[in-house]
Structure 1
Amino acid sequence: MSRTLQRPISIGLTIAMALALAVLSPKPAHAHDSCAIAQPAATGLLGSVLAAVNVFASILPTAEAACPDKYEGVDVKLTRDWLDEDEEEAGEAAGPRSNASKANPNSDAPPTFAPCRNGMAADFFPCDGVDMLSHVSHAELGTVFVNDIWGWTDPQSGKDYALVGSSTGTVFVDISDAKRPDVLGKLPTASTFGGSSWRDIKVYADHAYVVSEHTNHGVQVFDLTRLRDWDGTYTTYDMDAWYTGHGSAHNININEDTGFLYSVGAGPFGAPYEVTVDEPSSAAGVYDAAGASFGPAPTEEGLTGDFAIVDAESGLGSEGCDVLVDFPAGAIAIADRGGCVFTEKAKNAQDAGAIAIVIVDNQPGPPANLGGTDDSITIPAVRVSQHDGAIIKDGLDASGGISAKDETGPDCGTGLHMIDINDPKDPTYAGCFDDHGYIHDTQCVVYDGPDANYQGREICFNSNGIAYELEGRNYVSIVDVTDKSNPVSLSRLEYDGSGYSHQGWLTEDKRWFLHGDEGDEFLAGVNTTTRVWDVSDLTAPFVHQVFVNDTTSIDHNLYTKGDRVYASNYTTGLRIYDASDIAGAGISEIAYFDVYPENDNPTFEGGTWSNYPYFSQENVVAVGSIDRGLFILKPRGGRG
């Protein structure tokens, strides 16, 4: 074991990690206060799971009531639960661990190496044709929840590094000796409020670019060559540059051939509106405010009036969830968050004669947009932070106004937000495409596929999930982004059996787009399903094959390399598909390593989020495990 992983896990570290997990455990959604799934009429298991899934809810607001994180059921294992407790605590002093390596006791086999034998690795992980080279636990990574993963090969030294996304930042792991990895340290998240479960990482010109659904996270830029100077201790790194043209983002893709980064599912940085309190109030000043998905948006000219707390003297509370009593018509209403949906508060204020409503948050952190839909609302609604709201209320009686800020970042909605990173440490805004609404993931390439009309053009292939619902608004879309100031939609198609259009990747010849839908397994009750799109005509793609595996888990991220497909499928782990006869027989499974042996349920309770198969080391694949950390795997022979 390497010197970083040699250290026994101290009781203090374990306790600290457990406390961190308790602090970071999912809370009611703060960034958007809604579930992406419209609350179903179903009850029992169906109703419970649908109510729990919180997929990028800024796009489909529902009730303000607590909307649990979809990863609420994850049971994190900080240390290696697959090893005997005494072996785990003993560290390298115990020598090669027979549970893992099954090697000769006198060998120098690495302690966490476990070949796949008779369908199992370490007598714990189901497998077929894939060996475990090493496992790095959450405690060693300094994490409590792992999400995305990417990689980097140092062009100078040839070393391979895994870039491991987590709820608290990005961890750098040297896997050059894949059986003895070194954990170098972490780049902490740029923000700590909002959607902590999501982080995404890509690499360009020896720099890592990191986004998160944390509010106001922006794009972190980190010079990976700094890892060459690692001093052997767990290091906390700082970022080298920070792009704040957007705030949160769900995902990014980088076209390394052009030097353009594409953020998707992004939100604004900061708050686009402001609440002004006039002198002589003790609260006089300007306060950031977020907007709403209902009612008219505040204008730059704004509106002014006296502020009035709803129901302050009525005995009904200050949440505005009932008919307002003695509210002064023409005033700006102030209501506390909680008790009912945002639209109900706004409608009650409007019916009482308010010209606008300010909703005060009941959780710490920057303000986030108000979700909900009600076409009858005709007054603006904004949200201020808990901190600012308390100051404003303490300063009443007062007058003031609500307005849009004069200067905000580019408004790309939740589509393609294009960033020029040709100067890696100076990312600059390049363009937008929002005609298709929310884009969940994308792959952008200089096209050299079979459609001669678009060869040499820069084309983005998008997983365009609008609604988590069976046969809902889910699309695969293709956009020409060669001219960043005038991107052009080439096609946008729905498909049968959709649940949530999630992610996909092109084959190397760019004839096929392999696409995963994150909702169909649960919503339709089908086995793990991958759709193979024929994209030889970019204006008329169609589904060539629907590959239904014999597994039951939900699929997440997949990547192609040569004629192999590496799919991270939550509770059934890494699955490897053969795509050598994709035009004929289609794809089929040839190997797997299940990092979540507990079950194969179509849930988000654990397993693998993503993988990275592009290291310089042949057939080495890094696999992120939500609940167990990092696995370094190697398919055998022709399997990989």
Structure 2
Amino acid sequence: MCGRRVGQDYKIGFYLKTAKPGQDKKHLPKAEASQARDKSETYIIEYRPAMVRFASVAVVGSAMAGVASVAIAGSKADYQSGAVHAHIMARKMEHWKEEEQAGLMNSAQYPELGYTPCVNGFAAAIPGDSMNTFRCRNVDLYHFLPHTALGSSVGRGSSSWGWTSADGREFVVVGQMDGAAFAEITQEGKLSYLGRLPPYSVPNMWREIRVVNDLVVIGSEALGHGVQFLDLKKLLTLDPARPKTFAQSDLTGYWNGLPSGRAHNVVVNEERNYAVAVGAVGADARGQMIRPHDLPCGGGLIFLDISDPANITSPGCAGGDGYVHDAQCLVYRGPDARYHGRDICYGYNEDTLTIYDVTDKTGNVTNIISISDYPGATYVHQGAVNNDQWQEYLFLDDEYDEEFATVGPMARGLTTTHIFDIRDLEKPVYTGQYAGKTRGNDHNQYMHDGFLYQSNYGNGLSVLDVASVTSDPTGAGICEAGRFDIYPEDDEEVGGGRVRTSGTWSSYAKFQSGFILVHTIERGTFVVKMTSKECEKPASCSADNCMRALRASHIPGRLEESQQFCWDFTRRLNKDATKVPEYAAKACGSDPVQRVSSACACIPAPTVPVMTRTDTFRYWPTLYPTPTAS
């Protein structure tokens, strides 16, 4: 069981009051407290009850019978207290500090790259340069610009989104540590930098971006940041020869009713025209973290009425399941007739998938439809339904199961996408998973026209054909239609990648032109385009002498030796005939490279070994370091 209380009020939710240094800690009106912005203020927490309603007793528990609901990275109490969240944040910052010290965060070192086709599995943007040669399939590179060419003095990319104007022009908004950059994608697929919006707060790696109609919504973990709103039609008249830095006065709207002005993510419902701030945690004047369950709304869903962008208000929040890391909020259309037409939010809540009915956004009442978990749940991060017009299945990524889970393909560090049957919203069923071929963390994924576009950190962009899930929800029929690996630095690692938070943070694939934005942490922004959406077909194999030599089952260990050789050999752009083993060179004749390559396509790939775990969950200090622009 998930440990939620059913059949009685589940009271959480808090009222924030402030007192300035030297003043008595007097109570302030709620509206005044929520708008207070003095960074020297001390935050005082007062308990205020809230109501949580569950759809039924039966829905509270594991989505898979017999599976314990306590996630791998920590106990239930660790998630509820915010300890796991603090661990994840600090772990990432520690890794990014290592990258900075290694020089990887200096985006000026990465050159601008032009159109490069994907040929035989590689896009060699700079021939002979392994750091600018990208593994690929069915995806061509059109353009790359480093963060420095997109106006940033610091770089360190994060979220991104796209916008198409009424006349069909295509624009991107990309997050960086020192703000958000705006660029247009030309008809040739090139990025044309137009300007930027600074944070007008402290720099911070976490900057999340969404677009609703013509309005961009920008949130951040930065103290005092709030939620920024800008009318993107302002981009239409900008001159790329004179990029514009938007002032605070240029903002169409601004809302700062967040604890400490920070939120981990922002979400929008385009159809109903509202926004949601999620994961709003806080820190006091000393930088000491305030636990999510000691905050207004518990770090849950905070609804924003944006019908008048110049006067944004919050009608209420839903904090009944605590911290929400990300969410997808949609008008429900699907087989569960009880909820047809209602506002539903699918919450990715660190250790569970939590489905909310948010039709009533007023007050501080949480209506929870169901709470579900799955084997190896570690850090439930983000996800997407298979079809927002008919919501039957949901794809979920767990950011840290590849690192900590010891079950399923996650134990080998393989990027794993989890699948839920949500045809009964009150009783979701965990049906299976899809595992990638290489090691790496998954991060963000979005559906478009039946394909799932994933940004999987060091593995780059992966495009999955998930149409089969409605007939086979185990995931066995899912296949990869395309890929573009934007992080060659880890390609030589065991398992073909590294389980670390390097590489791509996000992607956007909804442009009518077919151009896909892939935004990265270290380098900058890629524009790519698919040439085909066909999955790989099984190789046509014939048992000739070359094949027999590689398989040679009568020789102990020969198949395993050939598997490892083929794995290494076929992953090389320039295949060296001298690397072909003598037994294969003799059997494969006068053109060993070509014949061995063909034969290797018929040799099963070696099994990626179970990953050695050298780190376990640790209690990190509760201080959130404030990043600097150095």
Q: What range is the shorter-chain TM-score in?
A: 0.5 to 0.7
The answer to whether the Cα contact below 8 Å between 2:118 and 2:137 also exists between their aligned partners in 1 is: yes
Structure 1 residue 62: deviation in Å? Answer: 7.4
Relative to 1, partners in 2 of residues 1:249 and 1:639: Cα closer, same or farther, differing over 3 Å? farther
- Higher helix fraction: Structure 1 or Structure 2? 2
Task: Pick from 512, 517, 533 the counterpart of residue 616 of structure 1.
Answer: 512
Question: Residues 310-389 of structure 1: matches in 2 within 5 Å?
Answer: 361=286, 367-369=287-289
For 2:86 and 2:524, the matched residues in 1 are separated by 33
Q: Which residue of 1 aligns with 2:281?
A: 267
For 1:221 and 1:530, the matched residues in 2 are separated by 32
The answer to whether the Cα contact below 8 Å between 2:252 and 2:309 also exists between their aligned partners in 1 is: no
Q: Which residue of 1 aligns with 2:375?
A: 496
Q: Which residue of 1 aligns with 2:56?
A: none
- Say which SS state the counterpart of residue 147 (structure 1) adopts: coil
Residues 553-592 of structure 1, C-alpha deviation per residue, up to 9 Å, x if partnerless? Answer: 1000001112211000001100011112112244221210
Task: Pick from 582, 593, 596 the counterpart of residue 487 of structure 2.
Answer: 596
2:213 is equivalent to residue 205 of structure 1: yes
Q: Which residue of 2 aligns with 1:96?
A: none
Gap runs ≥5 in structure 2: 1-41, 44-72, 128-132, 406-410, 491-495, 536-630
Q: Which residue of 2 aligns with 1:484?
A: 361
- Say which SS state the counterpart of residue 589 (structure 1) adopts: strand
Q: Which residue of 2 aligns with 1:115?
A: 117
Question: Number of residues paired by the alignment?
Answer: 422
Question: Residues 221-260 of structure 1: matches in 2 within 5 Å?
Answer: 221-232=229-240, 233-238=242-247, 239-246=251-258, 247-260=261-274
For 1:442 and 1:573, the matched residues in 2 are separated by 22
The answer to whether the Cα contact below 8 Å between 2:348 and 2:383 also exists between their aligned partners in 1 is: yes
The amino acid across from 1:571 in the alignment is G
Gap runs ≥5 in structure 1: 1-30, 33-48, 89-110, 272-289, 291-359, 362-366, 374-380, 382-409, 466-473
Q: Which residue of 1 aligns with 2:96?
A: 71
For 1:490 and 1:459, the matched residues in 2 are separated by 9
The amino acid across from 2:105 in the alignment is V
Structure 1 residue 178: deviation in Å? Answer: 4.5
The amino acid across from 1:523 in the alignment is F
Structure 1 residue 231: deviation in Å? Answer: 2.5
Q: Which residue of 2 aligns with 1:159?
A: 169
- Say which SS state the counterpart of residue 311 (structure 2) adopts: coil
Q: Which residue of 1 aligns with 2:140?
A: 131
Structure 1 residue 126: deviation in Å? Answer: 0.6
Q: Which residue of 1 aligns with 2:333?
A: 448
The answer to whether the Cα contact below 8 Å between 1:190 and 1:220 also exists between their aligned partners in 2 is: no
- Say which SS state the counterpart of residue 483 (structure 2) adopts: strand
Structure 1 residue 168: deviation in Å? Answer: 0.9
- Say which SS state the counterpart of residue 550 (structure 1) adopts: strand
For 1:372 and 1:639, the matched residues in 2 are separated by 45
Q: State, as a whole percentage, how many aligned pairs show the same letter.
A: 34
Q: Which segment drifts farther, 226-235 or 559-568? A: 226-235
Structure 1 residue 427: deviation in Å? Answer: 1.6
Q: Which residue of 2 aligns with 1:434?
A: 319
- Say which SS state the counterpart of residue 233 (structure 2) adopts: helix
For 1:170 and 1:258, the matched residues in 2 are separated by 25
- Say which SS state the counterpart of residue 262 (structure 2) adopts: coil
Residues 592-631 of structure 1, C-alpha deviation per residue, up to 9 Å, x if partnerless? Answer: 00000111544335210110011121x2110001111000
- Say which SS state the counterpart of residue 437 (structure 2) adopts: coil
The amino acid across from 1:621 in the alignment is I
For 1:186 and 1:444, the matched residues in 2 are separated by 28
Structure 1 residue 61: deviation in Å? Answer: 7.8
Structure 1 residue 205: deviation in Å? Answer: 2.6
For 2:308 and 2:530, the matched residues in 1 are separated by 37
The amino acid across from 2:511 in the alignment is F
The answer to whether the Cα contact below 8 Å between 1:205 and 1:424 also exists between their aligned partners in 2 is: no
For 1:570 and 1:475, the matched residues in 2 are separated by 22
For 2:416 and 2:524, the matched residues in 1 are separated by 25
The amino acid across from 2:255 in the alignment is Y
Structure 1 residue 158: deviation in Å? Answer: 1.1
For 1:267 and 1:522, the matched residues in 2 are separated by 25
Q: Which residue of 2 aligns with 1:184?
A: 194
The answer to whether the Cα contact below 8 Å between 1:566 and 1:574 also exists between their aligned partners in 2 is: yes
Structure 1 residue 137: deviation in Å? Answer: 1.1
Normalising to structure 2: TM-score of the pair? 0.63
The answer to whether the Cα contact below 8 Å between 2:383 and 2:444 also exists between their aligned partners in 1 is: yes
- Say which SS state the counterpart of residue 582 (structure 1) adopts: helix
The amino acid across from 2:480 in the alignment is E
Question: Residues 39-58 of structure 1: matches in 2 within 5 Å?
Answer: none
Q: Which residue of 1 aligns with 2:225?
A: 217
The answer to whether the Cα contact below 8 Å between 1:72 and 1:605 also exists between their aligned partners in 2 is: no
Relative to 1, partners in 2 of residues 1:423 and 1:56: Cα closer, same or farther, differing over 3 Å? farther
The amino acid across from 1:603 in the alignment is V
Q: Which residue of 2 aligns with 1:95?
A: none
For 2:210 and 2:422, the matched residues in 1 are separated by 24
Relative to 1, partners in 2 of residues 1:208 and 1:59: Cα closer, same or farther, differing over 3 Å? farther
For 2:523 and 2:382, the matched residues in 1 are separated by 23
Relative to 1, partners in 2 of residues 1:61 and 1:441: Cα closer, same or farther, differing over 3 Å? closer
The answer to whether the Cα contact below 8 Å between 2:183 and 2:193 also exists between their aligned partners in 1 is: yes
For 2:291 and 2:445, the matched residues in 1 are separated by 31
Q: What stretches of structure 1 move > 6 A for 4+ residues in a row?
A: none
- Say which SS state the counterpart of residue 490 (structure 1) adopts: strand
Q: Which residue of 1 aligns with 2:403?
A: 522
Normalising to structure 1: TM-score of the pair? 0.62
Relative to 1, partners in 2 of residues 1:433 and 1:62: Cα closer, same or farther, differing over 3 Å? closer
Relative to 1, partners in 2 of residues 1:77 and 1:444: Cα closer, same or farther, differing over 3 Å? same
For 2:136 and 2:90, the matched residues in 1 are separated by 39
For 1:531 and 1:495, the matched residues in 2 are separated by 9
For 1:244 and 1:62, the matched residues in 2 are separated by 23
Q: Which residue of 2 aligns with 1:550?
A: 437
The amino acid across from 2:347 in the alignment is N
The answer to whether the Cα contact below 8 Å between 1:148 and 1:200 also exists between their aligned partners in 2 is: yes
Q: CA RMSD in A?
A: 3.0
Relative to 1, partners in 2 of residues 1:541 and 1:372: Cα closer, same or farther, differing over 3 Å? closer
The amino acid across from 1:497 in the alignment is G
